[in-house]
Amino acid sequence: MTLTRMLAEYASNIRFEDLPHEVVEYTKLCILDWYGSALAGKDEKPILSILELTQEWGGNEQATLITGGKSSIGNACLVNAAASHIVELDDIHKSSIIHAGTVVIPAAAAVAEAYGLSGKDLITAVAVGYEICYRIGEAVSPSHYYYWHNTATCGTFGSAAATAKLLNLNVEQIMYALGNAGTQAAGLWEFIEDGANTKQLHTAKAAYNGALAALLAKKDFTSASKILEGRRGFFNAMSEKYDADKITRNLGKEFKIIENSFKIHASCRHTHPAMDCILNIMKENALTHQHIQSISIKTYQTVLNITDNPNPDTVYASKFSSQFCAALIAMKGSASLIDYNNEILQSPELRNLMEKVSVEADPYYENAYPEKWGAKVVITMKDGRTFSEGTDYPKGDPEKPADKEELIQKFITMTIDKVWNAKEKVQAILQLEEISAAEMMEAGEESCKQIQ
Amino acid sequence: MTLTRMLAEYASNIRFEDLPHEVVEYTKLCILDWYGSALAGKDEKPILSILELTQEWGGNEQATLITGGKSSIGNACLVNAAASHIVELDDIHKSSIIHAGTVVIPAAAAVAEAYGLSGKDLITAVAVGYEICYRIGEAVSPSHYYYWHNTATCGTFGSAAATAKLLNLNVEQIMYALGNAGTQAAGLWEFIEDGANTKQLHTAKAAYNGALAALLAKKDFTSASKILEGRRGFFNAMSEKYDADKITRNLGKEFKIIENSFKIHASCRHTHPAMDCILNIMKENALTHQHIQSISIKTYQTVLNITDNPNPDTVYASKFSSQFCAALIAMKGSASLIDYNNEILQSPELRNLMEKVSVEADPYYENAYPEKWGAKVVITMKDGRTFSEGTDYPKGDPEKPADKEELIQKFITMTIDKVWNAKEKVQAILQLEEISAAEMMEAGEESCKQIQ
C-alpha cells in the first residue's frame, strides 16, 4: 500500500455528503476569497502577459477566464492561477506553507465548468485538493521550503487531486494523476532575490500541471506508483527531511481546509496584529482619529525589522510601514487594497497621524514569536482617556478566524474597481451548492464585461 | 556577470554565419533524426492520449503537429516532443546524459514555423539550444542524474534557449527565458520503477516549458538572474555536486552538438557493438546467413547482464536479446524499427540462426567499459572460413560517427509505414538552409495525410 494509493483511495471515496457543514461553509469562503484575489489581480502586467500568450495560442471555449471570455482548461489554469496570487491577499496554511487557493481552485473551477459539474462537486474537489497538498506540504516542511516554493511544488498535487476528483477517476487513475503531478513539481525560490514575475508563473504552472496530469490520467496515461516515498521520488529528491506519517495521520477524520488562514488587510502580515487592535478600539469606543494623541504599539522584534518605516514613499512601501498602516486603519476604519493608494500616501492628515504612532519591541510578544504573531496597542486620546487591546494572533489565523461578514467585506473592497455587482457574486458563491460551477464562473465573466 | 548572462550573451550574439559548415551539416542530421523518431512514435498510445487532450483544449493553427494538422505552439510542443522519444531511437549526448533532439527541436520547430522563420534560423537555434542544455547537463552530471531525468530538467533550458534565439530576444530577455526555464525544470526518475508513460510527459513538458518561458520573456516577464548558481537556484537545489566551469569553458569556441550520438539499430544500445561487427563482416565478405556455422561474441559483462536472452517472447524483449539481434542483422542486413516484428519473432529460420550465436564476457572489453562499449565478433562459415571484427564503440557514437547515408537509411526504414515520400522529406531537411521552417514541417504534414 503506497502513500499515493492511500491518498487516491481517500480522494476516490469521499463524497459531498461526507463533508461536515462547517467544512462546506469554510470551503465556500476559500472559493470566495480566491475569486476576490483573482479579480483584484487580473489587470496586473504579468497577468496580461500570460493572457496575451494564451490568446496567441488560442483554445476551445471550455472555461471562463477571470479576465473575461473563455478558453481551454489549460489556458484558464494559467491565467486564473497567476491572477489570484499577485496582490498577495490569497489564503495561506501555516504548517504546510502553502497558498492553496491560487493553485487548487483555478484548476478545479476550470475542469468543473468544462465538464458541466455542480457546485457541490466543486466544493468537494476543492476540499480534497487542499487536504492532499496540505498533507504533502506538512510532510516535507520546513526543509523542502528552503529551495522550493511549496505553493508551486506541493500545490501541483493539490490541483491534480482536485481535478482527478472532478473527473471521477478510479483509484488507479488518481494514482497516475498524483504520480504525474509529482514528477512535474517545480518552483525554486531563487526568483525572490530579484522580486521577479516568476511567482505568478509558479502558481499558473502548478494549476496547469496538476490539471494536465489528471486529464491525462483519465486516458490511462500511467505514472510512478510511489512518487512520494520512492527511492527517486519527491521526498528523497526534494527534501532534506520528511515525515511520511503526516500524509496519512487522521486522513479522512479531519479536514485541513479549516486550518486555512485568510488575510484581511492588504499589507504585510506583520502589520496586522496591531491593526486589528486599533480597529477594535476605534470601533468599540466610537473614537475619531482627529482626537488621537498617540498610538503605542508593542510587539515582536521582526515587526520592527521589516516594517519600522516612518516615511514610506511608494504605495508598495506603505504596505510595509507599521506607522502608515496603523494611521491608515485608525483614520479610515479599513485597510483594503483600494485604501492603499497614492492619494492617501500624500495626505497631510494621515502623515500627521503617523507621527503619533510609536512601535517598540516587547519581551512577551518577542518570546511568543513565531508561534504567535501578537501585539498590544495603547491609544491615548487628547482628552486623556486611554484604551488598550492586545492579541496573540492576527485576524484570519485559524486561532482567530475571520468570519463570513469580514470576508465578504474584503471581497467587496478588493474588487470594487473590477466588478459592479460584487454582492450578487458573493451571494452566488455562498450558495455554490445550489448552482453549477459554470454559473459561478460565468456570473463573474458577465460582470467583468459590464464594468469594462 | 552571472552564468545566465554569459549564456544569454552567447545566445544573443551567435549568427548562422558563425556556424562552421560541419556544424550546420551535423545540426541538419540531428533534425532529420528527430523528425524520423517523431514520425515513428506518433501513433503510440501515450502520444495519442496527449494528442486527444490537445484536441479537447484546441488552439490556433500556429504549428504543425507530427500527427497531422496544426495547433498552438504549446500543443505542438507537447505532441511532437512526446512522439519523438517513445521509440527510443532519438539522439543522446553521453557526457550530459541528455536526449536533446526530443526536447529542443520540437520547441524550436514550432516557434520557427509560427513566426515564419527560415531554415537557417532554425538550424542556428537548434545548435544554440543543444549547446546550452549540454553545458548545464555536464555541469550537474552525474549527481543530478540520480534523481532527475536530465533530458527533462536540463532540456528545459535547451528549449528555452533555442526558442529565445528564434524570437530574437535581447540579452535581458534571454536571461528571463533561462531563469523561468530553470524554475520550471522537473522530471523525477521514479517513474522508471513502473515503466510508466511519464517518460513521454517529461519530454513534452520540457519542450513546452522552455517555449513558454521564452514566449513570456518576449513580453518582458521577468525571472531570477542567477537561476543556475544562486543560493536557492538550480545547482544547489537539484545537484549534490556541480562544476560551474563547464557552463562557460570554451563557450563560443566549440559546438557541442557535434558530440551527439545517434542510434542506428532499434534495439538496446548494448547489443549494438556486436551488431555493427556482424553487419560489416556480412557485407564486406558478401556472406549469406544460410551458410553460417556460428557467431561468437566477446564483449563486456553488462551486455550479458542485460541482453543474454536466447528465447525472447515479445517484440520488446527481442530488442534486449543479443542472440536475437545478432541473428536478425546477419539475416536481414538491418535492424531498424520495422525489422523487429511478430513475424520475424516467430521465424524458424531466425530461431535456427539464433542457436548458433554465443555471447561471452571478455576481459579486454570488460576493462574498457563504460568509457568504451565494445565487442569482438567471430563468424565461422560452414565451409570452415572464419571472419572477425572488433570495435570499441557502437556505430553512431562521436568516436565512430554515423554518416549521412546511414542516418538517411535509418530515417527511411523507421518511417516506412508512416510516410510515403520519405526520400523527399529527407531531401527537404538536408536542404533546410534553403527553405523555411514551415516548409519543412508542412511537407511532413502533407505526406502524413497521404498515407493515412
CATH number of the domain where residue B98 is located: 1.10.4100.10
Chain A contact for B220 (CB, 8 A cutoff): yes
Tell me if B398 is assigned to some domain.
no
A197 with B221: Cβ contact below 8 A: yes
pLDDT range class, residue A338, cuts 50, 70, 90: confident
User: B441 and B369, same structural domain?
Assistant: no
pLDDT range class, residue A317, cuts 50, 70, 90: confident
User: A195 and A174, same structural domain?
Assistant: yes
The residue segments making up the domain with residue B320 are: 269-391
Q: How many CB atoms lie under 10 A from the CB of residue A370?
A: 8
**Cα(A437)–Cα(A111) distance, rounded to whole angstroms?**
9
Tell me if B151 is assigned to some domain.
yes
Mutate to test the interface with A, among B45, B54, B56, B57 (most CBs of A within 10 A): B57
Of A60, A222, A225, the CB nearest to B58: A60
Chain B contact for A205 (CB, 8 A cutoff): yes
User: A182 and A56, same structural domain?
Assistant: yes
Residue B280 confidence (pLDDT):
97
Q: How many CB atoms lie under 10 A from the CB of residue A278?
A: 29
Residue A421 confidence (pLDDT):
86
In the block, cell 564476457 appears at B361
A225 with B59: Cβ contact below 8 A: no
B201 with A216: Cβ contact below 8 A: yes
User: Which residues of chain B are within 8 Å of residue A46 when distances are taken between CB atoms?
Assistant: 221
User: B348 and B232, same structural domain?
Assistant: no
Q: Where are the alpha helices (DSSP H) in A230-319?
A: 234-238, 245-248, 272-284, 301-307, 315-318
Residue B390 confidence (pLDDT):
98
**Is the alpha carbon torsion for B95, B98, B100, B104 positive or negative?**
negative
pLDDT digits (tens, 9 = 90+) for B363-380: 999 999 888 899 999 999
pLDDT digits (tens, 9 = 90+) for B46-57: 999 999 999 999
User: A284 and A213, same structural domain?
Assistant: no
User: B286 and B221, same structural domain?
Assistant: no
Spatial CA neighbour of A293 closest among A361, A203, A371, A383 = A383
Nearest CA in chain A to B45: A221
pLDDT digits (tens, 9 = 90+) for B385-416: 999 999 999 999 999 999 999 999 999 999 98
User: A300 and A224, same structural domain?
Assistant: no
Please spell the DSSP secondary structure of B41-83, one letter per residue: HTTSHHHHHHHHHHHHH---S-EE-TTSSEE-HHHHHHHHHHH
Q: Does pLDDT of B319 surpass 60?
A: yes
Of B180, B197, B215, the CB nearest to A222: B197
Percentage of the residues of chain A whose pLDDT score is greater than 90? 89
Residue B438 confidence (pLDDT):
95
A193-208 mean pLDDT = 95
Tell me if B342 is assigned to some domain.
yes
Structural domains counted in chain A = 2
pLDDT range class, residue B221, cuts 50, 70, 90: very high
Chain B contact for A236 (CB, 8 A cutoff): yes
Residue A452 confidence (pLDDT):
43
Specify whether the CB–CB gap between B371 and B364 falls below 8 A. Answer: no
**Cα(A148)–Cα(A142) distance, rounded to whole angstroms?**
10
User: Which residues of chain A are within 8 Å of residue B179 when distances are taken between CB atoms?
Assistant: 190-191, 196, 198
A266-278 mean pLDDT = 94
Interface of B with A in 56-85 (CB under 8 A): 56-60, 62, 72-75
Specify whether the CB–CB gap between B223 and A198 falls below 8 A. Answer: yes
Contacts of A144 (CB under 8 A, 6+ apart): A137, A150, A153, A154, A238, A239, A240, A242
Tell me if B381 is assigned to some domain.
yes
Q: Does pLDDT of B447 surpass 60?
A: no
Q: How many CB atoms lie under 10 A from the CB of residue A241?
A: 11
User: B334 and B187, same structural domain?
Assistant: no
User: B340 and B194, same structural domain?
Assistant: no
User: B273 and B258, same structural domain?
Assistant: no
pLDDT range class, residue A420, cuts 50, 70, 90: confident
A305-324 mean pLDDT = 91
B391, B422, B439 - which closes a domain: B391
Strands (DSSP E) contained in B300-423 are 357-361, 375-381, 386-391
Interface of A with B in 156-195 (CB under 8 A): 176, 179-180, 182-194
Spatial CA neighbour of B77 closest among B201, B249, B177, B164 = B201
Strands (DSSP E) contained in A235-356 are 292-299
Mutate to test the interface with B, among A190, A192, A215, A223 (most CBs of B within 10 A): A190
Residue B195 confidence (pLDDT):
86
B49 with A222: Cβ contact below 8 A: no
Nearest CA in chain A to B229: A190
User: B187 and B235, same structural domain?
Assistant: yes
A223 with B196: Cβ contact below 8 A: yes
B1-8 mean pLDDT = 96
A224 with B180: Cβ contact below 8 A: no
